[in-house]
Amino acid sequence: MRGAVVGVVSVAALACGAVAGVLLSMAQAEPADDVAAPVPAMSPSLPVDPAPLARPDADTPALQPGLTYVDDMIGANGFEVKLRSPEGWTKVIIGAAEAKWVVQGNRLNTFLLRVESVESQRQSVERIKSERIEDLRRLTKNFRLVQETETSIQIIYVDDNGLTKYGNVRWIDDPDPDSDQAVVEIAANGRERDQPGLLDLITRVGSSVEARL
């Protein structure tokens, strides 16, 4: 396996913390030149079904496509994931192989980006994706799987604050043609109004990770 994307925490710790990390990244926000390419098989259209009834969203302006990106990374000491992150966003380290990026001063529950190395879990993309769906279905309210592809999902749920959240998760697999192991997980989450910007964000960041593997 390539050294550029190596998990530095134990399999047991990642397995226990994976769902918590996804839910944390979807529920919290802290103190938004490249040419976008579409996520494989992912439709940029918004869901046609009505979202679950919930409290009104924060009135923070919607995330827009077309952000400027800069070189970035997570991890250290030879255990790095190199990527491009939105310029001006604040990076928050969650763990040795995980970080999120938010806009300083945004109100709680607006939008964010999260990237995690999941290589040490030693799971295929299909397995880690299926387990994530089942865990989110069990642990969140009004969960709805809007769209699923081989490497991504779009979901809607109501968080503990009564706010409707839109989640987009994408997995990058090992570039070795003989391996289907997931090595990086990317999540871009926010409100319905943020969806066009979130889809553009996860596409650009995912493409930058793939280019560096």
pLDDT at 116: 95
Is the CA virtual torsion 45, 145, 181, 1 positive or negative? Answer: positive
Instruction: Please name the residues in contact with 35: beta carbons below 8 A apart, sequence gap of 6 or more.
Output: none
| pLDDT (tens digit per residue) in 144-177 | 999 999 999 999 999 888 889 999 999 999 999 8
Instruction: Please name the residues in contact with 24: beta carbons below 8 A apart, sequence gap of 6 or more.
Output: 94
pLDDT at 26: 52
pLDDT at 162: 85
pLDDT at 62: 96
Is the CA virtual torsion 187, 188, 190, 195 positive or negative? Answer: negative
pLDDT at 163: 86
| Residue type at position 142 | N
In which residue ranges of the chain is pLDDT below 50? 1-20, 24, 27-46
pLDDT at 72: 97
Alpha-carbon gap, residue 190 to 213, rounded angstroms: 27
